[in-house]
Structure 1
């Protein structure tokens, strides 16, 4: 069985290597983190791009339409708007 001082030196060496990025496991953890960060940036950029270029203008167009008094006209407006809105909202998510 190794002596206590050997085990302690080994433990301290692992801590130092991990904190300085020289330990093998510290390098192997960086790659997935970078991929995750890159995916988050892509998701954020394209989500915002789609929101500002498509979803917001669609909502502004819908807000500009006068509220109809009859149910048939309201249903027609909803059908025309809803399908495209739902598709683009799913793409954005």
Structure 2
């Protein structure tokens, strides 16, 4: 996945996630912070992680499963399905 690290959109998404996680950590250190506010922040993080996962899946499918000739790479599909089963 080294080539994915060059993708600025993905890196920016990861940096935003880091910022959101830091905000949750900071919120948890304040005793007067509303639980509802923290839960809302965590829900936003979950949505952002799902978006990142979708973006990575889409990029992987385009770059590794579908070849330039638009032929399906069966070996890559099997690897990918195995990966999905582990994470879903």
TM range (shorter): 0.3 to 0.5
Max radius of gyration: which structure? 1
Q: Which has the higher helix share?
A: 1
Which TM-score applies when normalising by structure 1? 0.40
Greater relative contact order (CA < 8 Å, ≥ 6 in sequence): 1
